Chain A
Amino acid sequence: MKYTPVIGLEVHIELYTKSKMFCSCSADYFGKEPNTHTCPVCLGLPGALPVPNKKAIEWCMAIGLALNCEISEFSKFDRKNYFYPDLPKGYQISQYDQPFCKKGQVTLSSGKKIRITRAHMEEDTAKLTHAKVDGKNVSLIDFNRSGIPLVEIVTEPDFENAKDVVEYLKLLQQTARYLGVSKADMEKGDMRLEPNISLKKEGSSGLPNYKVEVKNINSFRFVEKAINFELERQEKILEEGETPKQETRGWNESKQATISQRSKEEAHDYRYFPEPDIPPVRTGRDEIAEIKSTLPELPQERLKRFQTLYSLSSYDAEILAREKETADFFDQAAKDAKLHNVSPKQIANFIINKKPDIEKTLPAELIQSVISQKTSATISQSDLEELVKEILSENPDIVADYKKGKTNSIQVLIGKVMQKTKGQANASEVKTELENLLK
């Protein structure tokens, strides 16, 4: 029997704000000494109260807008209640029935549409490390991460294969970077993925009566492996006429397998209720328009424009649009290049092949490099050497002048070589070659 994968995604992205979501502790926690970025609020001390970070809310909405979501006119924070040692208050401040963003959509390169259910704002938990201390299995808790702003983006179960999942994730990562709200680095935990995976009989409608959530996929490299492993595992169970257990599994890289996670956490009943410590958030059309106006051109739009405006191949356009900095640089250089009769394609080739350090190069400098490179690339070193020898033997007077000390006469020789190569050589290379042979 054949099966169709049914995959939905929950992706968490940590925002790179200066301060945490509900307190003013620095959010720059990565790699810092444990428990040095905490306060009564993010440690969940008695009596402490949360005050939401305005920038984080705006950035959450910016992500929502980039994913074509509607922004809720009225939304609020809710408490999600559960017990876990990484959750200092015994509840996570999140959003339940009125998230900031809902009903979005993205289109993959194949044209397939992925519906975005919602994008909401919440706070990160502390970081747990499992270790052995004095022969005992323990968990070590670092609250530096507790309260970092987190945007959760939930899709409908619209994915049917792991490749599309990877494309979507790359697009999310790219979008977050374009917006400048996060590096969305999976290895650092800036971006975390939890797919819900199940299989349905090919051609059947409706959703399967189970789903398996997979955690611990903390690298782009693992995404396809983990999803494909899980799909094969489930297919085997279904082939045997059974239904896979609804559960949470974790990807174990060393075993190359997903493994059932048994935690002591009570069955999920989060007892959501409106967070009484934070007044609701109302977002007017003007404010939405204002956030919209700050959005940069987004990755997919830019990719399209590079192809149409500059006649680039999709391959080239993809490479140039991947990072916003590169794309901005290319845009500027391609625009300036027109004045120098250099084509965008030449600029693109130069950036892709020579990989110049764009942080240290100005677009104008790059154009000069392209122009001078244009005059060198086509003649080989040995041909050039032959040519220079020829010119030297044809012009003994000038050589004599040079040797007498009239070093300026070398310019005449350069001109003659250039003339002979019909502009195919690079003037400075010619000069070097001449100097070598004149020694």
Chain B
Amino acid sequence: MLNNLTIAQAKKLLDQKKLSSSELTKFYLDRIKKLEPKISAFVTITDKEALKQAEKADKLISQGAKKLLLGIPISIKDNFNTKGVQTTASSKVLEGYIPPYDATVVNLLKEEGAVIVGKTNMDAWAHGSSTETSDFGSTKNPWNIKRLPGGSSGGSTASVAADEVVISIGSETAGSIRQPAAWCGVVGLKPTYGRVSRYGVIAMGSSLDSPGPITKTVEESAFVLNILAGQDKFDATTSPKNVEDYTKNLNQKISDLKIGISKRYFDQCEKDVKDSVMQAIKVLEKLGAKIIEIDLFDPQYAIAVYTIIQRAEVSSNLARYDGIRYGNGRDKFGEEAKRRIMLGTYALSAGYYDQYYNKAQKVRTLIINDFKKAFSQVDVIIGPTSPSTALPLGASKGHPMFGEMADVLVEPSSIAGLPGINVPCGLSSENLPIGMQIIGPQFSESLILNVANQFEKNTDFHKASPNI
């Protein structure tokens, strides 16, 4: 009965008093206990706090309180500060660090009554697309535990795919929500940069970081975005733009929709991926959408731009970790963090700024303009989320740019600050999930959620779940 509950299903059970939040929370905590030895999706399991929150939720439910996530068990990526609960970003530098404050996103979720069952594993500092750079060991893909879940929000996507929680919250700099969502076969929404507050999210690439929901269905992502989106007085880069009801347009017809596809985004893909995504696009075409071939900038340039900007920002963002006020010394940084810090330092250093950083920021402008041009012709752009399905454990080791290569197809839109969503659209011959991404112009979350939902409603891929 409790199999793969969505938010709406769980809420219904709670509202109808068929189940208490405490029982629901215990169910998930038991499942976590059972599955964690195989999957390792969590860095910290907050069972005691969760049960307390669930009890509180039960009280509120009995008083007739209406809150959007009241009593619903969720997980949160370990780069979100949680007051009184260890927050490490999966790095030994922050092992044992107890924040004195909540991230804005965490605050919003708590206010809506969510029950936080734990903090999920990630690539240390969100550096990577595998979770293998976690200082606390890799998470495994619930579809095949010899495979990677992707990353950096791999713990979050694995926890949703394995049904250890109802939903999870992740963050994306360039691919960290969409790519692991694709590899784990769940829905992952990366909102427009500035739509959701970064306050209290351990900074990776400050001009790119976007927190977002990871869910089993598109509708849930829209529902959670309603909670997360909005201007935050603690984050000067959040947009004052009005927050829409993102669930409102989910069922709009897409018969007038113009979908852009770029050959370049399919060129480097595995055959199964390419075929599934092309099939998926045909589904949308059948619903009336018009497919238009567009020419986008070679994503290889986006890799180069992203590599420089992100590492430069990383080198500065990780400078605060000196072990004096909190945490451990800089000798505790893992290999990947050290590499990124040093590359970023080099790219910003005297004599190299123009050649690297400034050049990258200029090409970034061209990529933004390239998308603007594309969106004057089409409403959304659709392509594969990742060129491959989940790679075997160990695949990232020794590759200084593994993440960039795995994220080649999501990097251009991240650099431009655009929203994108991953929706499951098939299974490979090895029974691994395949994801397609829908990208729209800035602040077009309603539209891409609408397209994603129309696809989901007309297919069954979201119903597939791993046998674990």
Note whether A and B contact each other (Cβ less than 8 A): yes
Does A278 belong to the interface (CB within 8 Å)? Answer: yes
Q: Which of A44-52, A173-181, A238-246, A326-334 contacts B (4 or more CB under 8 A)?
A: A44-52
Residue of A nearest to B89 (CB): A46
Q: How far is the CA of A424 from the CA of B166 in the complex (A)?
A: 98
Does A276 belong to the interface (CB within 8 Å)? Answer: yes
Does A279 belong to the interface (CB within 8 Å)? Answer: yes
**B87 and A46 within 8 A (CB):** yes
**B319 and A83 within 8 A (CB):** yes
Does A85 belong to the interface (CB within 8 Å)? Answer: yes
Given A44-B325, A46-B81: A271 and B199 within 8 A (CB)? no
Q: How far is the CA of A143 from the CA of B320 in the complex (A)?
A: 14
Residue of A nearest to B125 (CB): A46
Does B236 belong to the interface (CB within 8 Å)? Answer: yes
- Segment 81-128 of B: residues with Cβ below 8 Å from A: 81, 87, 89, 94, 97, 99-101, 103
Chain A residues, Cβ within 8 Å of B315: 81, 271
Binary CB contact string for chain B from 174 to 203 against chain A (1 if under 8 A, 0 otherwise): 000000000000000000000000111111
Q: How far is the CA of A279 from the CA of B322 in the complex (A)?
A: 27
**B316 and A79 within 8 A (CB):** yes
**B322 and A52 within 8 A (CB):** no
Given A89-B320, A273-B353: A48 and B200 within 8 A (CB)? yes
Q: Which of B36-44, B286-294, B343-351 contacts A (4 or more CB under 8 A)?
A: B343-351
Q: How far is the CA of A48 from the CA of B199 in the complex (A)?
A: 6
Q: How far is the CA of A90 from the CA of B206 in the complex (A)?
A: 15
**A44 and B234 within 8 A (CB):** no
Chain B residues, Cβ within 8 Å of A402: none
Chain A residues, Cβ within 8 Å of B318: 90
Residue of B nearest to A79 (CB): B316
**A279 and B236 within 8 A (CB):** yes
Residue count of chain A within 8 Å CB distance of chain B: 29
Does A141 belong to the interface (CB within 8 Å)? Answer: yes
Q: How far is the CA of A91 from the CA of B203 in the complex (A)?
A: 14
Does B312 belong to the interface (CB within 8 Å)? Answer: yes
Does A429 belong to the interface (CB within 8 Å)? Answer: no
CB distance from A192 to the nearest CB of B (A): 23
Chain B residues, Cβ within 8 Å of A45: 81, 99-101, 325-326
**B322 and A277 within 8 A (CB):** no
Residue of A nearest to B330 (CB): A83
**B237 and A88 within 8 A (CB):** no
Does A265 belong to the interface (CB within 8 Å)? Answer: no
Given A40-B100, A46-B99, A277-B236: A90 and B203 within 8 A (CB)? no
Does A199 belong to the interface (CB within 8 Å)? Answer: no
Q: Which of B313, B326, B350 contacts A276 (CB 8 A)?
A: B313
- Segment 271-318 of A: residues with Cβ below 8 Å from B: 271-273, 276-279
- Residue of A52, A89, A90, A276 with most chain B CB atoms under a 10 A cut-off: A276
Q: How far is the CA of A276 from the CA of B173 in the complex (A)?
A: 14
**A49 and B353 within 8 A (CB):** no
Given A52-B236, A271-B345, A271-B348: A85 and B322 within 8 A (CB)? yes
Does A269 belong to the interface (CB within 8 Å)? Answer: yes
Given A46-B202, A276-B206: A269 and B350 within 8 A (CB)? yes
Q: Which of B201, B325, B350 contacts A47 (CB 8 A)?
A: B201
**B237 and A279 within 8 A (CB):** yes
- Segment 77-101 of A: residues with Cβ below 8 Å from B: 79, 81, 83, 85, 88-91
Does A43 belong to the interface (CB within 8 Å)? Answer: yes
Does B300 belong to the interface (CB within 8 Å)? Answer: no
CB distance from A300 to the nearest CB of B (A): 37
**B322 and A90 within 8 A (CB):** yes
Q: How far is the CA of A85 from the CA of B207 in the complex (A)?
A: 26
Interface residues on B, range: 35 or more
Chain B residues, Cβ within 8 Å of A91: 316, 319
Does B443 belong to the interface (CB within 8 Å)? Answer: no
- Segment 223-244 of B: residues with Cβ below 8 Å from A: 233-237
CB distance from B174 to the nearest CB of A (A): 14
Residue of B nearest to A39 (CB): B101
**B319 and A81 within 8 A (CB):** yes
Binary CB contact string for chain A from 30 to 44 against chain B (1 if under 8 A, 0 otherwise): 000000000010011
Q: How far is the CA of A272 from the CA of B202 in the complex (A)?
A: 21
Binary CB contact string for chain B from 226 to 269 against chain A (1 if under 8 A, 0 otherwise): 00000001111100000000000000000000000000000000
Chain A residues, Cβ within 8 Å of B316: 79, 81, 90-91, 271, 273
Q: How far is the CA of A79 from the CA of B314 in the complex (A)?
A: 13
Residue of B nearest to A81 (CB): B316
**A47 and B199 within 8 A (CB):** yes
Does B357 belong to the interface (CB within 8 Å)? Answer: yes
Q: How far is the CA of A216 from the CA of B399 in the complex (A)?
A: 49
Q: How far is the CA of A74 from the CA of B239 in the complex (A)?
A: 20
Q: How far is the CA of A51 from the CA of B235 in the complex (A)?
A: 7
**A51 and B233 within 8 A (CB):** yes
- Residue of A50, A83, A271 with most chain B CB atoms under a 10 A cut-off: A271
**B203 and A47 within 8 A (CB):** yes
Q: How far is the CA of A44 from the CA of B327 in the complex (A)?
A: 12
Does B324 belong to the interface (CB within 8 Å)? Answer: yes
Residue of A nearest to B327 (CB): A46
Chain A residues, Cβ within 8 Å of B199: 47-49
Q: How far is the CA of A367 from the CA of B294 in the complex (A)?
A: 85
**A141 and B324 within 8 A (CB):** yes
CB distance from B196 to the nearest CB of A (A): 13
Binary CB contact string for chain A from 237 to 278 against chain B (1 if under 8 A, 0 otherwise): 000000000000000000000000000000001011100111
CB distance from A277 to the nearest CB of B (A): 6
CB distance from B269 to the nearest CB of A (A): 32
Q: How far is the CA of A273 from the CA of B205 in the complex (A)?
A: 13
CB distance from A144 to the nearest CB of B (A): 14
Chain B residues, Cβ within 8 Å of A43: 325
**A278 and B348 within 8 A (CB):** no
Chain A residues, Cβ within 8 Å of B99: 40, 45-47
Binary CB contact string for chain B from 207 to 228 against chain A (1 if under 8 A, 0 otherwise): 1000000000000000000000
User: B residues near A, CB below 8 A?
Assistant: 79-81, 87, 89, 94, 97, 99-101, 103, 198-203, 206-207, 233-237, 312-313, 315-316, 318-322, 324-326, 345, 348-350, 353, 357
User: A residues near B, CB below 8 A?
Assistant: 40, 43-52, 79, 81, 83, 85, 88-91, 141, 143, 269, 271-273, 276-279
5 closest cross-chain pairs (CB), A and B: A90-B319, A271-B348, A276-B207, A276-B206, A47-B200
Can you name 8 extra interface pairs (CB under 8 A) apart from A47-B201, A83-B322, A277-B236? A45-B81, A47-B99, A47-B103, A81-B348, A91-B316, A141-B324, A271-B349, A277-B235
